[in-house]
Amino acid sequence: MRKDFYIFRHGETDYNQAQRWQGQGVDIDLNANGRQQAEVLAQKLADCGLQVIYSSPLKRAKQTAQYVAAGHNLEIRILPELTEGSVGDCEGMSKSEVAKKYPQVWDIWYGDNDIMDVRWPNGESKGEVQQRMNRAFAEMLLAKEKVIGVASHGAAIRYFLLQFGYGPHKMENTALFHLVWEDEKWILDGVNL
């Protein structure tokens, strides 16, 4: 059995533009640029044969999914496990504020390492985000559809794909990845499509 997953990060928000962390606790709409990015993403995905879209419950992901679904009569299914990683006490803070307030965590989180148990105060670890995303993909594998869109978030996608060899810390809004499940194994077939 083969299943194709087209995984995409949401479009830009004002918090993205201001380099402020949203995490799970800041739930705001796409900005004008984010809506335009979502329209471009929808065009990229127009010929992929999507049959359904699963989305994080957060507005920025749902709105991006709505742009992709528009005109194709695609159902959007909300899957809470696809939500962004929790950055706990850092939600709403700027990146520079976080780096200054928590320099030791910052250095480990963004260091060249595979330490998966590091976490921000009252937030999730990279490993917990990855495990949650693994549960989401296990659930989506049970769906009858064979070509699935997935609307999620930067950290959630990054730490899920880390186990398949993808690992940069920077991910553009509406970054697009193609992940294939075939012969009982995952293959990362396309990055930043």
73-93 residue pLDDT tens: 899 999 999 999 999 999 999
DSSP state of 76: E
Q: Tens of pLDDT along 13-52?
A: 999 999 999 999 999 999 999 999 999 999 999 999 999 9
* Two structure tokens written together for 62: 């749902």
Q: What is the pLDDT confidence band of residue 1, given thresholds at 50, 70 and 90?
A: confident
Q: Is the dihedral of CA 100, 101, 107, 110 positive or negative?
A: negative
CA-based diameter of the chain, in Å? 49
Say which residue the tokens 């993205």 belong to: 16
Q: What is the pLDDT of residue 10?
A: 98
- On whether the CB atoms of residues 179 and 164 are closer than 8 A, the answer is yes
Give the domain ranges of the chain.
3-191
Q: Give the domain 3-191 fold.
A: Rossmann fold (3.40.50)
Catalytic-residue membership of 10: yes
Tens of pLDDT, residues 129-141: 999 999 999 999 9
**Annotated catalytic residue within 10, 72, 169, 178:** 10
Written as six digits, the tokens of 93 are 């803070």
More confident residue, 113 or 122: 122
Which of 72, 153, 169, 178 is flagged as catalytic?
153
pLDDT of res. 80: 98
Catalytic annotation present for 153: yes
Amino acid at 34: G
pLDDT digits (tens, 9 = 90+) for 42-72: 999 999 999 999 999 999 999 999 999 997 8
Give every strand in the sheet of 185-191, ordered side by side. 76-78, 52-55, 147-152, 3-9, 176-182, 185-191
Confidence of residue 193 (pLDDT cuts 50, 70, 90): low
pLDDT higher than 90, residue 111: no
* Global confidence as pTM: 0.95
